[in-house]
Homo-oligomer: A and B are copies of this chain.
Amino acid sequence: MGSGRIARTFADAIEHSARARLVAISSRTPDRPDIAARFGGLPVLSYEALIASPEIDAVYIAVNHAGHVGLAKAAARAGKHIVCEKPVGVSLADVEEMFAVIGESKVFFMEAFMYRFHPQIRRAVEIVEAGTIGDLRFIQAEYGFSRPFSSHRLYRPDEYGGGVLDAGGYPMSMARLFAGLARRAPFANPESVQAMAAFHEVGVDILALATLRFPGDVLAQISTGIAMKHGQVARLYGTGGNLVIRSPWFGGGIHGGRCELVLTRDGEEPQTIVIYDDVWLYEHEVNALIDGVAAGRTEPEAPAMTWADTLGNMAALERWYRASRKTQA
């Protein structure tokens, strides 16, 4: 559902998978001829027609953020399993209401944080859980990218543009994941969220910073931005060393490949840990959906995004979004 760039990328992952078949595309404007052309001549349906189609077992929702929740509820009511782009919604209340509907429908639902499936994350989780860097005390996570000003959703306040409700979910969810591990839980939610941001004149945040305090006094500094390439990195600092995830969001790329963790234990030289992934990045999501449905589950297993993790991330993003606006000059 949706025909933008990420939909095209996800379609590639489905086509690359031997386990799923892409049946149809759907769009708000199904009659646009370029959509069918971009998706290999597949049927392009309206959202309603796609959801009503008996041929379809599962949907992937990649429309603008504000449209996610409505389509997810409609799809769930029709018994379709769901992978939904992030953030699932633009307010916690909307997402809570959505989960109430999905819970009734007993379908599988997963927020599409593909990075959680990458083997480097599982490896980083193991390293932290093993105590290799001591007690985790401080997390830094960043996702800044540069997109020139345009009429794109990112620069539209009415479409919840800006970084916090776009790439901001990445560093927030990464900090929450590892802050949870510090307490032997699959995630943690911040006790306090401080935020500061710089805004474009149209009113969207172009550089957004947050400082988080988690239970057990684990602190985090996170950032996102849409107008400048700053870091795309995650760093985990413990009482006995640190671990840097050098390419935390895409690993070696969307078609798999090689990436690196750098582990430094106090008093030792930094150690580079090479991670290979043979699976395409978004194909992991296809697999998680199929495996989850086959196992009769309604959500993936951590460290992928469970429903509670999605709710916690949405709550934290909402706090970040609101707090950053209070600092607007």
Chain A residues at the B interface, C-beta cutoff of 8 Å? 137-138, 144, 146, 192, 194, 196-199, 207, 209, 211, 213, 217, 219, 221, 223, 225, 227-231, 235, 237-239, 242, 266, 327, 329
For the complex of A and B, the 6 pairs showing the least CB-CB separation, nearest first, are A198-B217, A230-B237, A194-B194, A196-B211, A221-B221, A209-B211
Q: Are A138 and B217 in contact (CB under 8 A)?
A: no
Given known contacts A192-B196, A211-B211, A242 and B229 CB-to-CB distance under 8 angstroms: yes
Tell me the complex Cα distance, A137–B19, Å: 46
Copies of this chain, count: 2
Q: Are A221 and B209 in contact (CB under 8 A)?
A: yes
Tell me the complex Cα distance, A79–B230, Å: 49
Q: A193 — nearest CB in chain B belongs to which residue?
A: B196
Q: Are A219 and B209 in contact (CB under 8 A)?
A: yes
Q: Are B211 and A198 in contact (CB under 8 A)?
A: no
Partner of A228, one of B137, B192, B211, B217: B137
Task: Give every chain B residue within 8 A of A138 (Cβ-Cβ).
Answer: 207, 223, 225, 228, 230
Tell me the complex Cα distance, A225–B209, Å: 20
Task: Give every chain B residue within 8 A of A213 (Cβ-Cβ).
Answer: 196, 327, 329
Tell me the complex Cα distance, A222–B198, Å: 17
Tell me the complex Cα distance, A327–B231, Å: 27
Q: Are A239 and B219 in contact (CB under 8 A)?
A: no
Classify the secondary structure of A's interface with B. Answer: strand
Task: Give every chain B residue within 8 A of A242 (Cβ-Cβ).
Answer: 229-230
Question: What are 19 A-B contacts defined by CB distance under 8 Å?
Answer: A137-B207, A138-B225, A138-B230, A144-B237, A146-B266, A194-B211, A196-B211, A196-B213, A196-B219, A198-B219, A199-B217, A207-B219, A209-B221, A211-B221, A213-B327, A221-B221, A228-B237, A230-B237, A230-B242
Q: Contacts A192-B327, A197-B219, A229-B237 given; 4 further ones with Cβ under 8 A?
A: A194-B194, A194-B196, A196-B211, A221-B221
Taking the nearest CB of chain B, how far is it from the CB of A310, in angstroms?
25
Tell me the complex Cα distance, A16–B262, Å: 39
Tell me the complex Cα distance, A223–B230, Å: 18
Most buried by B among A199, A207, A211, A223: A211
Tell me the complex Cα distance, A209–B192, Å: 13
Taking the nearest CB of chain B, how far is it from the CB of A144, in angstroms?
8
Tell me the complex Cα distance, A47–B192, Å: 47
Q: A223 — nearest CB in chain B belongs to which residue?
A: B221
Task: Give every chain B residue within 8 A of A329 (Cβ-Cβ).
Answer: 213, 217
Task: Give every chain B residue within 8 A of A219 (Cβ-Cβ).
Answer: 196-198, 207, 209
Tell me the complex Cα distance, A231–B227, Å: 25
Q: A267 — nearest CB in chain B belongs to which residue?
A: B229
Task: Give every chain B residue within 8 A of A146 (Cβ-Cβ).
Answer: 266
Q: Are A137 and B221 in contact (CB under 8 A)?
A: no
Taking the nearest CB of chain B, how far is it from the CB of A112, in angstroms?
28
Taking the nearest CB of chain B, how far is it from the CB of A135, in angstroms?
9
Taking the nearest CB of chain B, how far is it from the CB of A316, in angstroms?
15
Task: Give every chain B residue within 8 A of A194 (Cβ-Cβ).
Answer: 194, 196, 211
